[in-house]
Structure formats: structure tokens, C-alpha cells
């Protein structure tokens, strides 16, 4: 196969093409709406989306998107990289390496701490060649419920917290809670954009004093799947209450294929999902959270699902 290509700033059409491609070839879980939401959350100066496009004189590929990668910057010095993808017939020809080098370039020059969630079979490559050799002591498990969820089975777990819609809570309070979990990094713009994602259902848990004790979202992605993320909660009871409230929001949701990208150390989540799925929660592989610099001090026991595994560092 030919590999005459250029690397360009990706358009929304390029993004739509890559969502279709990565769903078809690798069953990745994204949706067209993610692109405008990320753009809104990070802004032009703190994010970049690159597409490798076939050169116009390539009759076989005809200007098609051959590969993709993107990055986002969080203050003070974190850069996340995600959506690293090349069409199967063009793999192994150096397209991915060029995309990766280009997306890392300015963050490397600025000495930023670059991180990604590396899929299991690529993790060693990232650690070796790319210098992403500081790995979290947990793995990011992909958990799937394919046979439907029965929320009545987790009703008894839900504790005393009150679960409300995000419109009922000042988003600054949710962002402050997020920051307390996510290594004290201010992600307020991302929290606001993600919770208002057009394909998502979002809920917040409050204690008796009205303080935020958890929040969560689940969004519809390709292949009729509902992906939870983020799902942060102070305890198992709050996590169960959030999961139940989100799934009960619309009667069709429990019948979807449901996915969580969750730290392997969170046994409480596994307990909840076993009940919710009637023992039919499948292990769909894993990612490794890896950094070029120091690992972040995440309040990991509160993480029941990461925000999004492409551009989120937790
Ligand atoms: C990962 C990917 C984007 C690399 O693109 P590419 O154009 O094939 O990359 P290159 O030809 O520049 O090769 C990059 C390196 O990745 C390695 N690689 C690619 N796919 C691999 C796989 N499945 N397992 C192990 N290594 C792999 C190549 O061997 C090469 O390693 P080397 O530099 O030591 O020789 C592409 O293989 C892909 O889309 N894979 C499926 C999606 C995926 O897993 N993405 C990463 C998610 S974290």
C-alpha cells in the first residue's frame, strides 16, 4: 500500500471519518460530538487534532484520512495524547510515528509531563521509544455489560446522598470536587463542557449539607454503547446511586451495551457491576496510565470510571 501523505490540522469531517474507521476496525468507543466538546473544553491554544491524509494524487486513497492523533494541555504542565490511530492497511509504514512525533513536539520542547493511556500491547513501546516510562501502579480495565443492566439489583446499595441533575448545582462546586480528585488540577472548563455533552446524561450527588460527594456522566457512542465517564464518588453507596440515577433517567439506557474504563484497584465498582449485570460483566482488556514525568497524586479510590480515556489523565 502507498503511504504518500500529509499531516494536517483535522477538520470535523476528518474526525467523523476517524470515528467511523476506528469503530469499524478496532471497536473504539467515541462519538462525533466528542470533537466539538473537546474543542470547547480546551480551546484552540490548548489542544491539537492532527490527521494524516492521503496525498491528492493517491488514486487508491483519494484524500482519505489514513491516521489521527490529538492532544490537550492542562495547567500547569500536563499534556495528554489520545486517539492515536492508523488505518490497518497503512500500519507499519511510519505514519503513526510521524503523527506521534508531531503531536509531542512542542510539549517536549516545553518540558511538559506528557501522558497517555496506552493500550496493553503498545504500552512497552510508549515506555521505551517515547519515554512514557512512569506507569501507574494500577491498570485501566475495560468493563463491559452486554446483556442489559437491572438497576433494581443495586437499589439497596445507594446510601443517603441525594442525586440531582447538573443544572441544579453550581458547576463551580462540581469542578472543585473534580479538582480534589484529579491531582488538584483545575479542569473546570472540561467539567462544564463534558457534563453538557449533547450525547451524555450527567448527575451529581450531594450530602445532607449540599456538598458534592460525587458526580458522573454517561454518553452514547458508536455501536449503540453507553460509556460511563467520569464517575467519581466518595464511596460505593454514592457510586451506586449515581449509576442507578443515570441509567434510570431513560428507560432505554439499561438495555444498551454499557462500558466503564476503570482503575483495576476499585473493587467496589466490580461489586456494583456484578450485581447490576447479574454476574455478566466482561473484561474487555486494559490500558496503562503512563507519563514521561512524575505520576500525579490522584485520589484514586474515588475514581469509579475515568473522565475519558483519550484525552483525560484520569
Ligand atoms: C499504534 C498505531 C497508531 C501505530 O501506527 P503505525 O503507522 O502502524 O506506526 P508505525 O509504522 O510508525 O510504527 C510505530 C511502532 O508501533 C508498533 N506497533 C504498531 N502496532 C502494534 C501492535 N499492535 N503491537 C505492538 N506494536 C505495534 C510498530 O511495530 C512500531 O514499532 P517500532 O517503532 O518499534 O518499529 C497503529 O498501529 C494503530 O492504529 N493501531 C491500532 C490502534 C491502537 O492500538 N492505537 C494505540 C492506542 S493507545
Q: Which residue's C-alpha cell is 458508536?
A: 222
pLDDT for 59:
59
pLDDT tens per residue across span 79-106: 999 999 999 999 999 999 999 999 999 9
pLDDT digits (tens, 9 = 90+) for 32-48: 999 999 999 999 999 99
Based on the fold, state whether residues 292 and 145 are members of the same structural domain: yes
Q: Is the CB of 286 under 6 A from ligand 1?
A: no
Closest atom, ligand 1, to C-alpha of 94: 12
Give the residue whose CA is nearest to atom 41 of ligand 1: 85
Q: What's the CATH number where 297 sits?
A: 3.40.630.90
> How many domains are contained in the chain?
2
User: Ligand 1 atom 3: the closest Cα is on which residue?
Assistant: 85
In a shared domain, residues 192 and 246: yes
Q: Report pLDDT digits (tens) over 141-196.
A: 999 999 999 999 999 999 889 999 999 999 999 999 999 999 999 999 999 999 99
Q: What's the CATH code of the domain at 63?
A: 3.40.630.30
pLDDT in tens, 198-232: 999 999 999 999 999 999 999 999 999 999 999 99
What pLDDT sits at residue 56? 74
* Rounded-to-integer distance, Cα 156 and Cα 163, Å: 15
137: which residues sit within 8 A by CB, 6+ positions away?
Answer: none
Q: Are residues 144 and 103 part of one domain?
A: no
269 and 183 assigned to the same domain: yes
Q: What's the pTM value of the predicted model, to 2 decimals? A: 0.95
CA torsion angle for 250, 162, 215, 37 (degrees, to 10)?
A: 50
- Residues 81, 146, single domain; the answer is no
Q: Residues 286-293: what's their mean pLDDT? A: 98
The chain-wide mean pLDDT, for the chain, equals 96
pLDDT band at 55 (very low <50, low <70, confident <90, very high): confident
The answer, yes or no, to whether any atom of ligand 1 lies below 6 A from the CB of 82, is no
Where would I find the beta strands (DSSP E) of the chain?
A: 5-9, 47-54, 65-74, 78-86, 113-119, 134-145, 162-165, 200-206, 212-221, 225-233, 257-263, 281-291, 303-305
pLDDT bin (cut points 50, 70, 90) of residue 63 is confident
128 lies in a domain? no
In a domain, 251, yes or no: yes
As a whole number of Å, the end-to-end CA separation of the chain is 37
Q: Is residue 169 part of a domain?
A: yes
DSSP 122: G
Domain membership of residue 37 as a residue range: 5-111
Q: Is 125 in the pocket of ligand 1 (CB under 6 A)?
A: yes
DSSP line for 52-83? EEE-TT-TTTTT-EEEEEEEEEETTTEEEEEE
Interval 231-243: pLDDT, tens: 999 999 999 999 9
Q: Is the dihedral of CA 33, 38, 43, 49 positive or negative?
A: negative
**Cell of residue 208, nine digits:** 445532607
One domain, residues 157 and 289: yes
CA 280 – ligand 1 centroid, Å: 32
245-265 pLDDT, tens digit each: 999 999 999 999 999 999 999
The pick from 122, 123, 132, 308 for probing ligand 1's pocket by mutation, whose C-beta has the most ligand atoms within 8 angstroms, reads 122
Q: Confirm whether 163 is domain-assigned.
A: yes
pLDDT in tens, 128-145: 989 999 999 999 999 999
Report the distance separating Cα 141 and Cα 302, nearest Å. Answer: 15
| Cell, residue 174 | 462540581
**Does any ligand 1 atom lie closer than 6 A to the CB of residue 91?**
yes
Nearest CA to ligand 1 atom 1: 85
One domain for residues 198 and 287: yes
pLDDT at 2: 52
Residues 154 and 251 in one domain: yes
d(CA 70, CA 47): 7
**Would the CB of 120 count as within 6 Å of ligand 1?**
no
Is the CB–ligand 1 distance for residue 122 below 6 Å? yes
Q: Answer with the one of 93, 111, 129 that is the final residue of a domain.
A: 111
pLDDT at position 14 over 60:
yes
On whether residue 117 sits in a domain, the answer given is no
Give the number of other Cβ atoms within 10 Å of residue 75's Cβ.
Answer: 9
Amino acid at each position: 500500500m502507498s503511504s504518500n501523505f500529509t499531516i494536517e490540522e483535522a477538520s470535523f469531517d476528518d474526525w467523523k471519518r476517524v470515528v467511523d474507521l476506528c469503530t469499524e476496525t478496532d471497536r473504539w468507543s467515541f462519538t462525533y460530538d466528542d470533537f466539538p466538546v473537546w474543542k470547547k473544553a480546551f480551546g484552540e491554544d490548548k489542544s491539537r487534532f492532527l490527521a494524516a491524509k492521503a496525498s491528492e494524487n493517491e488514486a487508491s486513497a483519494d484524500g482519505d484520512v489514513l491516521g489521527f492523533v490529538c492532544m490537550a494541555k492542562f495547567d500547569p504542565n500536563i499534556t495528554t495524547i489520545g486517539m492515536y490511530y492508523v488505518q490497518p492497511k497503512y500500519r507499519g509504514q511510519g505514519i503513526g510515528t510521524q503523527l506521534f512525533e508531531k503531536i509531542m513536539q512542542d510539549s517536549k520542547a516545553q518540558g511538559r509531563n506528557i501522558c497517555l493511556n496506552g493500550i496493553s500491547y503498545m504500552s512497552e513501546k510508549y515506555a521505551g521509544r517515547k519515554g512514557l516510562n512512569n506507569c501507574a501502579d494500577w491498570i485501566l480495565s475495560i468493563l463491559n455489560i452486554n446483556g442489559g443492566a437491572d438497576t433494581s439489583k443495586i437499589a439497596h446499595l445507594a446510601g443517603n446522598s441525594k442525586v440531582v441533575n447538573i443544572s441544579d448545582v453550581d458547576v463551580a462546586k462540581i469542578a472543585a470536587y473534580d479538582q480534589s480528585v484529579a491531582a488538584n488540577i483545575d479542569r473546570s472548563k472540561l467539567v462544564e463542557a463534558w457534563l453538557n455533552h449533547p450525547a451524555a446524561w450527567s448527575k451529581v450527588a450531594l450530602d445532607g449539607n449540599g456538598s458534592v460527594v460525587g458526580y458522573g456522566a454517561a454518553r452514547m457512542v458508536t455501536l449503540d454503547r453507553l460509556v460511563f465517564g467520569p464517575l467519581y464518588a466518595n464511596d460505593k453507596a454514592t457510586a451506586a446511586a449515581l449509576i442507578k440515577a443515570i441509567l434510570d433517567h431513560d428507560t432505554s439506557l439499561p438495555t444498551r451495551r454499557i462500558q466503564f474504563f476503570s482503575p483495576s484497584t476499585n473493587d467496589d465498582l466490580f461489586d456494583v457491576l456484578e450485581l447490576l449485570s447479574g454476574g455478566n460483566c466482561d473484561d474487555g482488556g486494559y490500558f496503562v496510565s503512563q507519563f514521561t514525568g512524575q505520576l500525579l497524586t490522584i485520589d484514586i479510590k474515588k475514581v469509579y470510571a475515568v473522565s475519558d480515556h483519550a484525552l483525560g489523565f484520569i
